[in-house]
Amino acid sequence: MATGFRFELLARDAASGARRGRLRTPHGVIETPAFMPVGTQATVKGLLPEAVAGAGFGIILGNTYHLALRPGPEVIAAHGGLHRFMGWEGAILTDSGGFQVYSLAALRRLEPEGVTFRSHIDGSEHRFTPEGVIAIQEALGSDIAMVLDVCPPSTAARPELERAVEWSTRWAQRALEARCREDQAVFGIVQGGLDLELRRQHAISIGDLPFEGIAIGGLSVGEPPDRMHPVAAATAGWLPPEKPRYLMGVGMPPDLPRAVLGGVDLFDCVFPTRAGRTGMLLTRQGRVIIKHARYKDDLSPPDPLCDCPVCRRFTKAYLRHLFVAREILASVLNTLHNLHYYAWLMGEVRRAIGDGTLEALAREVESRYPRDEAGEPPGELGEGPGTDG
């Protein structure tokens, strides 16, 4: 077990797999279930670190692939690590670049020993191996490092899923052998697509290795939510109960209580920050697309039930004006509000576990945030897929 890292289970929901816990890291204690805002390139876009902390978050996510390309681990290490580099006092989890195996398929070459990326920035070639990715994350000094894995599309054919499971297991073992820092936890990752038998086999294999926590990978990569959640819940049930469980890249508001019911403890997703930049406000009443003309003269706050700095001070009419005028402050205020909504929602999730009302909360959030036939939220996000926060 890494020094300064401990996970405690505090409560369980008798009617489901939901758990309340406490994750202790060298940079603070996180109450779980918890959501991690995405700070891919050493910043949660548009916000000072103290604004993110003030919204109620004690842990954020950074991305090894992006930080390795720029500014490079040497520059970050020279600052004393990622915490000092970005001025963040809380905990940091760094992704390994495994998602880029999926999202940058046209720019990478996958081999048994590792993956070679052609940079999306300048076309330069970069070789990632399980050992090298651990070394980069140790230079970054994150509290939690993720192993390099093979992330196929969830709907991939079984031979591709079997290869991903086999190589990810081998890479996980190599990553553990390569770790040197005693103050950094390392999480394994379970793959297997939507194939429950492969998921079970891989969950057992990864669960038997001496990781401090385990992630469920390879979901929310093309499949609809009604297929994702049963697989996530089944996989969580096969993992060691004493270790934190992290569902990677999830989720939108209705995903969070539903996945917690399945036994998940940690989440990350670009949705709240990207939605803010593209003019979607997340409220307890549902989505507000702030550019719509109906808000031109609206003197009410974005969410009358929210006490965040944005809702206490500004109106929908003002926020619409900023967005339509393409003022930078629009992204800042919208993002800040959305993160406050996510912090409130996760607080409600934790409270509901203790009250035995989590299923009711999940249904309420699902009613406020309906999806279209493809499983996506209606609205105009205006940006393609990625991990840019």
Distances (CA, A) of 342 to 31, 36, 267, 270, 300: 14, 10, 11, 12, 21
Distance CA 334, CA 310 (A): 8
Catalytic residues: 95, 268
Which residues does 84 contact at the CB level (< 8 Å), separation at least 6? none
Which residues does 304 contact at the CB level (< 8 Å), separation at least 6? 311
Do 76 and 85 contact (CB within 8 A), yes or no?
A: yes
Chain position carrying tokens 């052998």: 177
How many Cβ atoms sit within 10 Å of the Cβ of residue 231? Answer: 21
Residues 140, 138, 124, CA angle at the centre, nearest 5°? Answer: 65
Distance CA 275, CA 369 (A): 13
Chain position carrying tokens 């670009």: 270
Sign of the dihedral defined by the CA atoms of residues 151, 190, 29, 353, in that order: positive
How many Cβ atoms sit within 10 Å of the Cβ of residue 299? Answer: 9
β-pairing, 91-95 with 144-146? parallel
Q: Which of 124, 173, 123, 126 is nearest to 148 (CA)?
A: 173
Which residues does 262 contact at the CB level (< 8 Å), separation at least 6? 16, 17, 18, 229, 232, 233, 234, 236, 237
Exposed, middle or buried by CB within 10 Å (0-12, 13-18, 19+), for 76?
A: buried
